[in-house]
Amino acid sequence: MKEKVILAYSGGLDTTAVIPWLKENFDYEVICCCLDVGQGKELEHLDERAKLSGASKLYIEDLTDDFCENFIMPCVKANAVYENKYLLGTSMARPCMVKRLVEIARQEGAVAICHGATGKGNDQIRFELGIKALAPDLKIIAPWRMTDIWTMQSRQDEIDYCKAHGIDLPFGTDSSYSRDRNLWHVSHEGLELEDPSQAPNFKHVLLMTNTPEEAPDQPELVTMTFEKGVPTSINGQDMKVADIIRKLNELGGKHGIGIVDIVENRVVGMKSRGIYETPGGTILMEAHQQLEEIILDRATTEAKKDMANKMSQIVYEGKWYTPLREAVQAFIEATQEYVTGEVKFRLYKGNIIKAGTTSPYSLYSESLASFTTGDLYDHKDADGFIQLFGLPLQVRAMKMNELKNANKQ
């Protein structure tokens, strides 16, 4: 009986060519796993394509709810954004996918997992760190790094390889952007985007989102509710998290929300320029932060900023299955106990404009914040506070003057 390998299968040309390559070079039985985290139409006709290419079996697994509830929401609660711009769409999806790949590998008795990530990107790290953490005994096969036996360097090479193995597939050699899509976002790399001095050709790039110029001339009011940091409804309609993200994608895409052009620092050491469309995610993150503003105290807010940066780095670097991520997430969850309430905002030409925030746990006190003196705040109390708060500055200045005067003598 042949040993089995689990292939993370997208249905694209790269992973389709990997199927006969695995059989030819390792004599494996190839079991394909297509993991649905919201790719949409990309999953059509995959069963026929995988079998035609030589796979013995294809799993198509819907992970959308797991992705949204157990990977996206911890990052939303943390306000985790990599380098102040990237909302971690691909980064969050990989550990979700890895978990299921390992489960299927165990179920099938496979000895290896194969992925199609290139040797220049971050995804190879995310896949492999996850596999090492969850199944350290499994072999990992990364064809693009095995240059002694993976000799294909172009789409045409892959097409020719498939044809040579009796596989005639509907793929062309057209030049297009390199994209990764899921429910949270679409990423775009390649073509003119490889030159940071060039403006993106948004008419060709964007798939989910209007440009702000193309967005409606009238703003749209949106109301959301949250319970313990988790969104529960939009405009009075209760929904699960995945459906809330779908609805926010629709609204955000319509109004030109969430287009990011970034040159980011990859884990492997190089800088990379890309366009991210995250319409619903951008709205959800902003609404969540809008609610936190009135609920979290100052010290917790400051500590949470540090944890947000740490969480974004952990997720970006593929370290989801680590004690550090668990510890950071535990802190974040503790901060969300009272993040419950209603958020209103207007969407208008790429902007999210506040329209009112309420919570039964709000720490905002109108009587304290107003210029009218209330029972809890006497303006005279500020005298002693400022004296003590500024004492280190005053002592240092006095000391410096003392030294300056001594040097003049």
Q: Do 56 and 32 contact (CB within 8 A), yes or no?
A: no
* Per-residue CA distances from 402 to 387, 389, 392 (Å): 21, 22, 15
d(CA 303, CA 284): 21
Q: Do 156 and 172 contact (CB within 8 A), yes or no?
A: no
User: Residue 211, class by beta-carbon neighbours within 10 Å (0-12 exposed, 13-18 middle, 19+ buried)?
Assistant: middle
Q: Do 121 and 268 contact (CB within 8 A), yes or no?
A: yes
Q: Do 23 and 54 contact (CB within 8 A), yes or no?
A: yes
Residues found in the chain: 409
Order of strands across the sheet that contains 271-277: 178-181, 186-189, 271-277, 259-265
d(CA 136, CA 307): 28
DSSP 68: I
Catalytic residue IDs: 14, 94, 123, 178
7 — alpha (psi -120 to 50), left (phi > 0) or beta? beta
Run of H or E including 57: strand 57-62
Nearest to 5 by CA among 22, 20, 17: 22
- Strand segments (E) across 176-291: 178-181, 186-189, 220-227, 230-234, 237-238, 259-265, 271-277
What's the gap between Cα 66 and its chain centre? 14
Contact residues for 243 (Cβ-Cβ < 8 A; gap 6+): none
Run of H or E including 301: helix 298-316
